[in-house]
Amino acid sequence: MNRKLIAGNWKMNGLRVDLQTVREIAAGLAASTAAPEALLCVPATLLAEAARQASGTALCIGGQTCHSQEKGAYTGDVSAPMLKEAGAGFVITGHSERRTGHGETDEIVAAQARAAVNAGLTPIICVGETLDERTSGATLKVIEGQLTGSLDGLEPNSFVLAYEPLWAIGTGKVATPAQIAEVHAFIRQFLEQRFGKPGQTVKILYGGSLNPGNAAEILPISNVDGGLIGGASLKAGDFLAIYNAAAALTV
């Protein structure tokens, strides 16, 4: 069984005072090597200090996006080598808030993911359908298109995927276990067709209103290898409750 990955996405939240939450989460993790992996993707401004405070603990720190180029005239952007140097181990790429708010296409997402891998980071590549796409029955077709484009040029052991239905992000609306199981099985099948045997072990996270109340129901679903958690990752107690729900499955 894949070791589960419980990943927090702080989005545009977090000032220095919130480093206390990083310390509380790091202190609350299990020490065992069989325990789930834990990750917090914090704002770029907090990354170096969060990584310093998490060092020597089981908590990994990650970024939330990166540019596809290593350096250059890209005002306001952050490159993968910059994140790596600041202490990141992972970076989210293609989050729906970047795809819709910043016009990031599958092609751009793939280039960012390749840049992350080249810098020694593990990209967490996000895919997911809108409510309109789901109600019109286009979910699997949309996911297939996003996977085909966003994984271009990547090796199977170099990235993590996250399935995040857009209508479930930050809305309190969670996909049903049957909906999650269907899409995750579809993604697994896609990965096996594309990569063969190594496609069986690529981690696929679920994201979208995951919280302490539903984690124990969602995390055991077949092909769910962890979670990408927005709102509930801002509170140490909530993040740790989700982490403990994953840990309870590994013992």
Which listed residue (95, 104, 129, 133) is catalytic? 95
Examine the residue annotation and report whether 164 is marked as an active-site residue of this protein.
Answer: yes
Nearer to ligand PGA, 157 or 161 (CB): 161
Least Cβ distance, residue 14 to ligand PGA (angstroms): 14
Nearer to ligand PGA, 9 or 68 (CB): 9
The runs of H, that is alpha helices, within the chain are 19-28, 44-54, 80-86, 96-101, 106-118, 131-135, 139-150, 177-195, 215-218, 236-250
Least Cβ distance, residue 232 to ligand PGA (angstroms): 6
Classify each residue of 216-228 as buried b or exposed e, where b means 16 or more C-beta atoms within 10 Å of its C-beta.
Answer: eebbeeebbbbbb
Nearer to ligand PGA, 52 or 142 (CB): 142
- Residue whose Cβ sits closest to ligand PGA: 230
Nearer to ligand PGA, 170 or 198 (CB): 170
Amino acid at 209: S
Phi, psi of 32 (to 5 degrees): -65, 145
Examine the residue annotation and report whether 95 is marked as an active-site residue of this protein.
Answer: yes
User: Which helix H or strand E contains 127, and what residues bound it?
Assistant: strand 122-127
In sequence order, the β-bridge partners of residue 229 are 8
Least Cβ distance, residue 29 to ligand PGA (angstroms): 19
Indicate the DSSP class of residue 8.
E
Distance CA 209, CA 168 (A): 6
Least Cβ distance, residue 118 to ligand PGA (angstroms): 24
Which listed residue (97, 133, 164, 184) is catalytic? 164
Site residues, ligand PGA (CB under 6 A): 9, 164, 169-170, 207-210, 228-232
Amino acid at 170: G
Classify each residue of 132-151 as buried b or exposed e, where b means 16 or more C-beta atoms within 10 Å of its C-beta.
Answer: ebbeeeebeebbeebbebbb
Least Cβ distance, residue 95 to ligand PGA (angstroms): 6
Nearer to ligand PGA, 35 or 242 (CB): 242
Which residues are identified as catalytic? Answer: 95, 164
